[in-house]
Structure 1
Amino acid sequence: MFRTLRTLLMALLMAVAATAASALPAQAAAELPGGKANFVVSLGHLKDGARNNWVRLGTYEFDAAAGTVSARMYVWDHAVPKAREGTGTVPDSSCSSTDLKSTTHVLACQIKTAGGFTGSPTELRTGIYTLQNDTIDGVSTPTVWIKWNHTTAWTEKWAIETGTNLARLSFLHNTKATTGYGYGSNAALTTRRAMTTVQAHPSTIRLQGTTWAKDVTGTSGGVFHHENFRTCETTTWCLTYLQPTSSTACQKEGGCPNYGGGTASNISSIQYYLQKLSNTDRRDTLWHWCTCLAVERNELCYTGNSHVKPMYQIIDDTGTFRGWVGVEASYYPGTLTDPRKSDMFSVFRLADWT
């Protein structure tokens, strides 16, 4: 009788324990956001009239067994300007020219990137994460909450979307940031694709982002025509594109008062350079500027306020290139009453899934 009673009590306790466990919220242990461990992420704090803006770019690595996440980030702070730095790469003659009148090739200039991006990430963070379902716009949506081990409180929340061999993080909340993008897979963060593969990518790549310039935030969008870039025969790690334009985009605020208009030569064009920065990670960089700006200064290669945009490749589970997440950190290089007003920042994605 006592053995029967003891058996019944044990069964009851096990049932109660099972019920209690099923009532707990979903935990991070043994689960990954969208089933993916390795994410490339761009973040930014961008506000109208602000001088405390910043952008961050790097990687998040999730450990399901421990319920932890590690970030390795590059940081560009509005209040701490960093000069552009050369990458050491000048595109070869198959994809560049020293002839300013060329209407097909960019100028043979050393490609620039944001200061510090040729080195190692400067911000290493760790935190814990939790997976759960939240109601967003009336729909139950998988989310990931992250709490960073930081000197000040720092939490963030992303909606998780799953696609073919890829997961996407959609920005919902961040204690410090105002915008961001993230994509993840189970491909190692050392996996990247060559520039020839990037140029030959068969899907449309679209731009979406938030910008800051002249004290005003805005949005960016449109198709990024990677297929128009030239592959270089010798400097195979870079692509170039001379974009013809008859618009007045390069004449804004008097930037090109003498040479901004007309289509008779490449003076009204935009110079685009896209380069791989490492064989061992996913860093790429995009550099572009209006040709007329260099002509106004009587320069072959523009030394003024060009656009430098560090990026990380998005790679899916199969190792396929899917685009980039990136930021712009273009600090005005000259002396003005308020040079920081003329800095240019952005947080963006260039992806075939936006």
Structure 2
Amino acid sequence: MKRLIGWIVLGLVATLGVTAPAVPLPAELPGGKANWVVSVGGLNDSSVNNYANWTRLGWYIFAADGTVRTNYWTWNQRDEPMRVDAMKASCGGDIPSCDVQTMGTFLTGPTGAFQGTYQTSAGKVDVTWTKNGAGQALADPLVEHWLLEPIPGGKVARIVSDGYHNALAGPVVVPTTFSDYSATFGIGYGSNAPLSAGNKASITDIRTAYGQDEHLGTYVAAYKGAVHREPAGLKVNELNSATSFAYWRSCPSGKCVGFREKTNGCVCEKFPNFKDRIRYLADAPPARNNIYTYWCECLAQGTPCYKANNHVQSLLQIIDDDREFQGWVGVETSTHVESDGSAPDHNFGAGYWAVLNMVTPDLRGPQPKPPKP
């Protein structure tokens, strides 16, 4: 009798045209990679957003069921976030012993999260964020349209916003094709290496094992009321073979390195002989985080350190399928402050808000070209 009832039910289902729930087909991971470090920015001309620029830095994790989630840090220019001291860079030699500064929230876990879905097709990845980290529906979905670009070797994949790799120098025409909200630029790299802290290059390794790699890329920044595109670069080399002196010196802890860049072109009217630029790179918790700061020595006005308007960049390491370090994606969040560094001075036009990448040659993508004279 039970078997007969089963056949009757199946017959009714067929008669009524009702189908069993479809089993979701496996989604195609972008570039075959699950774990991504991603930088996104809402950068625009002040006439459009009145200096409400923002940046977001974190990771995207794509799953085979077509879902994606992100954990991120985010900063908004209008909030005027302040720098904090992360560690003392006591590197010795001619490197000033100064505090390496960063955003306070970058020293803790990510501050935000989204959940959503994605689709890949014909060199594109469309991401739709529908929920917050707790699974609550967003008032309006946030949609991003990424270009998926191949990288030789297949150990890393790249996603990028339309217009990120355009010509260098001068004001930038801000594209409207990247998102249906205020995000305008983005860059990300993915592999199948876990995102945990155990899959991270130490500062010592970056200085020695990877020290001869020149990590170059693109820096898209909002400052002086407009958006600009410039080259970015960082080469943490241990030794200059031409002169046999150390470029980057290590801190005793091994958690940071410092560099005095000679005659970089820094010019200050009161201290014309101080033309060097001081740079620091440091480790930070919790996972692939690094801190990068730099400033013109003449701005310190005769004191060893400058803590007012130094450039502050938050970076996440790119680690390929073989667990090798390949560079960084990052953001700059440099609030303009009073000359003593005590408080914001509300000079929004003098702040720097940027999305950037600094990577090995194969990962750079189309190289931006200077505009024609």
CA 1:246 to 1:314, structure 2 compared with 1: closer, same or farther past 3 Å? Answer: closer
Contact 1:207 1:224 in 2 (8 A): no
Partner amino acid for 1:57?
A: L
1:130 is aligned, of 103, 119, 131, to 119
Rounded Cα–Cα distance in structure 1 between residues aligned with 2:223 and 2:27: 43
Contact 2:85 2:101 in 1 (8 A): yes
Partner amino acid for 1:205?
A: H
SS at match of 1:177: coil
Q: Please say if 1:146 is aligned against 2:127.
A: yes
Q: Please say if 1:240 is aligned against 2:258.
A: yes
Give the alignment's TM-score, normalised by structure 2.
Answer: 0.75
TM-aligned CA deviation for residue 303 of structure 1: 2.3
| Counterpart residue number, 1:272 | 279
TM-aligned CA deviation for residue 91 of structure 1: 2.4
CA deviation profile, 1:202-250 (whole Å, cap 9, x unmatched): 4331131201222122111054322164242522121111101252xx3
Sequence identity, in percent? 30
Contact 1:212 1:346 in 2 (8 A): yes
Question: 1:15-164 counterparts in 2 under 5 A?
Answer: 29-49=26-46, 50-64=50-64, 66-87=65-86, 89-92=87-90, 95-96=91-92, 105-133=94-122, 142-149=123-130, 150-163=138-151, 164=153
Partner amino acid for 1:107?
A: P
Contact 1:86 1:111 in 2 (8 A): yes
CA deviation profile, 1:127-172 (whole Å, cap 9, x unmatched): 0011111xxxxxxxx2111110132231011121232211011213
Rounded Cα–Cα distance in structure 2 between residues aligned with 1:143 and 1:225: 31
SS at match of 2:195: coil
Rounded Cα–Cα distance in structure 1 between residues aligned with 2:148 and 2:42: 21
1:291 is aligned, of 290, 294, 297, to 297
Unpaired segments ≥5 residues, structure 2: 1-21, 131-137, 163-177, 239-246, 365-373
Q: Please say if 1:323 is aligned against 2:335.
A: no
The CA RMSD measured in Å over matched residues stands at 2.0
Contact 1:192 1:282 in 2 (8 A): yes
TM-aligned CA deviation for residue 276 of structure 1: 0.8
| Counterpart residue number, 1:16 | none
CA deviation profile, 1:37-66 (whole Å, cap 9, x unmatched): 0000001111122311101101001111x2
| Counterpart residue number, 2:179 | 174
TM-aligned CA deviation for residue 28 of structure 1: 7.5
2:269 is aligned, of 254, 257, 273, to 257
Rounded Cα–Cα distance in structure 2 between residues aligned with 1:146 and 1:221: 28
Rounded Cα–Cα distance in structure 1 between residues aligned with 2:75 and 2:251: 33
CA 1:109 to 1:186, structure 2 compared with 1: closer, same or farther past 3 Å? Answer: same
Q: Please say if 1:224 is aligned against 2:229.
A: no
Which consecutive segments of 4 or more residues in structure 1 shift more than 4 A?
A: 335-338
Rounded Cα–Cα distance in structure 2 between residues aligned with 1:30 and 1:211: 34
SS at match of 2:309: coil
How many aligned positions are there? 296
SS at match of 1:151: strand
Contact 1:212 1:344 in 2 (8 A): yes
SS at match of 2:252: coil
Rounded Cα–Cα distance in structure 2 between residues aligned with 1:299 and 1:28: 63
Rounded Cα–Cα distance in structure 2 between residues aligned with 1:337 and 1:237: 32
Contact 2:36 2:60 in 1 (8 A): yes
Rounded Cα–Cα distance in structure 1 between residues aligned with 2:333 and 2:25: 34
CA 1:336 to 1:169, structure 2 compared with 1: closer, same or farther past 3 Å? Answer: closer
Partner amino acid for 2:99?
A: Q
Unpaired segments ≥5 residues, structure 1: 1-20, 22-26, 98-104, 134-141
Rounded Cα–Cα distance in structure 2 between residues aligned with 1:116 and 1:233: 23
Give the alignment's TM-score, normalised by structure 1.
Answer: 0.79
TM-aligned CA deviation for residue 68 of structure 1: 0.6
| Counterpart residue number, 2:169 | none
Rounded Cα–Cα distance in structure 2 between residues aligned with 1:30 and 1:152: 24
